[in-house]
Amino acid sequence: MSLLSGARFHYDILGLSVFPSLTWARLRGRPTQVLVTAERLAHPVTLRIPGVDLSSLNEVILGEEYAMGAEQAPRTIIDAGAFIGMASVFYANTYPTARILAIEAAPSNYAMLCRNVAPYPNVTPIHAAVWQEETEVGLDLRGDAWGFHVGEGDTRVQTVTIERLLDQHGWETVDLLKVDIEGAEEQVFAEARWLERVGRWLWSSTAPRCRRRCARS
């Protein structure tokens, strides 16, 4: 993205108010946090700029990337790979009576997730990596905030299985499972005995092979 197109992208979503913060962040050489309001949200969200947080707001909130359509409103939702909470916030506003579990592994993203879902009592943030077994794995946090990989790196985090999440929270089934776990989908669904407990799936574009496998299950 060029400097001009980047400035236009920020202006189109945030307006002129973002430019002092964005300029200050670039002068300091690290992101700064801004509070952003959106027409579809009951409460503002906090984003780190520059960075990919604004793209998450644009795609998930404004672009409704994980919208379900006209189906019956879900009562239970798992947001696996919640990042900074945009999908959980979207669902909390769209389905205010739903119970939502938001799971995020990266510590910095989890801190932002907690901040963004704090106004929504129906969202429970969980600091863990969704995995095929309960253990401890490393995170490779190099690169951008979306680019970490579970199973590599020195940052250790506890893992959790979908089955364990359902049992811990007393859910016989989950109406909606949204999955965006940075390529770990293949491991998570390798021996997924709990597939029949999931009503509907929403996938990120990073898991095409996993989508095909589950469609056959």
What does the domain layout of the chain look like in residue ranges? Answer: 1-65, 71-216
Query: What are φ and ψ of residue 153, in 5° steps?
Result: 100, 175
Contact criterion met (CB below 8 Å) for 57 and 47: yes
List of residues 6+ apart from 2 with CB closer than 8 A: none
Contact criterion met (CB below 8 Å) for 88 and 100: yes
DSSP single-letter state for residue 195: G
Question: Which of 169, 192, 207, 179 is CA-nearest to residue 76?
Answer: 169
Q: Looking at the domain that runs over 71-216, which CATH code has it been given?
A: 3.40.50.150
Query: Cα separation of 165 and 134, whole Å?
Result: 11
Contact criterion met (CB below 8 Å) for 74 and 98: yes
Q: Judge residue 51's burial from the number of C-beta atoms within 10 Å of its C-beta, 0-12 exposed, 13-18 middle, 19 or more buried.
A: middle
Please provide the average confidence, as pLDDT, over all residues in the chain: 78
Query: Cα separation of 131 and 187, whole Å?
Result: 7
Q: How many CB atoms lie within 10 A of CB 151?
A: 14
One pLDDT digit (tens) per residue for the chain, 217 residues:
444 444 454 545 555 555 565 665 566 666 778 888 888 899 999 998 877 898 888 889 988 888 887 678 999 999 999 999 999 999 999 999 999 999 999 999 999 999 999 999 999 999 998 887 788 877 766 654 444 455 556 778 888 988 999 999 999 999 999 988 765 556 666 666 788 898 987 766 544 444 444 443 3
Tens digits of residue pLDDT in 10-63 = 545 555 555 565 665 566 666 778 888 888 899 999 998 877 898 888 889 988
Contact criterion met (CB below 8 Å) for 68 and 176: yes
DSSP states along 81-106: S-TTSHHHHHHHHH-TTSEEEEEE-S
pLDDT of residue 201: 78
Contact criterion met (CB below 8 Å) for 184 and 208: no
Please report how many Cα atoms fall inside a 13 Å half-sphere around the Cα of residue 143, on the Cβ side.
Answer: 8
Tokens of 140: 């490779």
Q: How many CB atoms lie within 10 A of CB 147?
A: 12
